[in-house]
Structure 1
Amino acid sequence: MSFLQLFGRLRSVVIGMVHVKALPGTPGCRLPLAQILEEACREAEIYKKAGIDGLIVENMHDIPYTLHVGPEITATMATICSAVRQECPRLPLGVQILSCANKEALAVAQAAGLDFIRAEGFVFSHVADEGIVNACAGDLLRYRKFIGAERVQIFADIKKKHSSHSLTADVSVSETAKAAEFFLADGVILTGVATGQEADPADLKEVRRSVKIPVLVGSGVTPDNVEQYIDANALIIGSHFKKDGYWKNDVISDKILSFMDKVRKLRM
Structure 2
Amino acid sequence: MKWSDLFGRVKCVVIGMIHVKALPGSPLGCLKMSQIIEEACREARIYRDAGLDGVTVENMHDVPYSLSPGPEVTACMTSVCAAVRSVCPSVPVGVQILSAANQQALAVALASGAHFIRAEGFVFSHVADEGLVHACAGELLRYRKNVGADDILIFTDIKKKHSSHALTSDVSVAETARAAEFFLSDGLVLTGISTGALTDPQELIEVSRAVSLPVLIGSGVTVENVDRYLGASGLIVGSHFKEGGVWSNPLSARRVGDFMTQMRRLRG
TM-score bin (small chain): over 0.9
Separation (CA, whole Å) in 1 of partners of 2:210 and 2:217: 15
Shift of residue 203 of structure 1?
Answer: 0.3
The one-character-per-residue Cα deviations of 1:151-184 (angstroms, maximum 9, x if unpaired) are 0000000000000000000000000000000000
Separation (CA, whole Å) in 1 of partners of 2:201 and 2:162: 18
Q: Do residues 186 (structure 1) and 186 (structure 2) align?
A: yes
The one-character-per-residue Cα deviations of 1:74-133 (angstroms, maximum 9, x if unpaired) are 000001100100110010110000000000000000000000000000000000000000
What is the aligned partner in structure 1 of residue 123 from structure 2?
123
What is the aligned partner in structure 2 of residue 267 from structure 1?
267
Q: Do residues 21 (structure 1) and 21 (structure 2) align?
A: yes
CA-based RMSD: 0.5
Shift of residue 267 of structure 1?
Answer: 1.5
What is the aligned partner in structure 2 of residue 34 from structure 1?
34
Separation (CA, whole Å) in 2 of partners of 1:231 and 1:15: 15
Q: Do residues 204 (structure 1) and 200 (structure 2) align?
A: no
What is the aligned partner in structure 1 of residue 170 from structure 2?
170
The one-character-per-residue Cα deviations of 1:179-235 (angstroms, maximum 9, x if unpaired) are 000000000000000000011000000000000010000000001111111110000
Amino acid at match of 2:267: R
What is the aligned partner in structure 1 of residue 232 from structure 2?
232
Give the total of aligned pairs: 268
Shift of residue 264 of structure 1?
Answer: 1.4
Q: Would you identify which runs of 4 or more consecutive aligned residues in structure 1 move more than 6 Å?
A: none
106-115 or 255-264: bigger deviation: 255-264
What is the aligned partner in structure 1 of residue 68 from structure 2?
68
1:73-152 equivalences in 2 (<5 Å): 73-152=73-152
Separation (CA, whole Å) in 2 of partners of 1:247 and 1:120: 19
Separation (CA, whole Å) in 2 of partners of 1:16 and 1:145: 28
Q: How high is the sequence identity, in percent, across the aligned residues?
A: 62
Amino acid at match of 1:245: G
Q: Which runs of 5+ in 1 are unaligned?
A: none
TM-score by length of 1: 0.99
Separation (CA, whole Å) in 2 of partners of 1:189 and 1:20: 21
Amino acid at match of 1:250: P
Separation (CA, whole Å) in 1 of partners of 2:254 and 2:34: 27
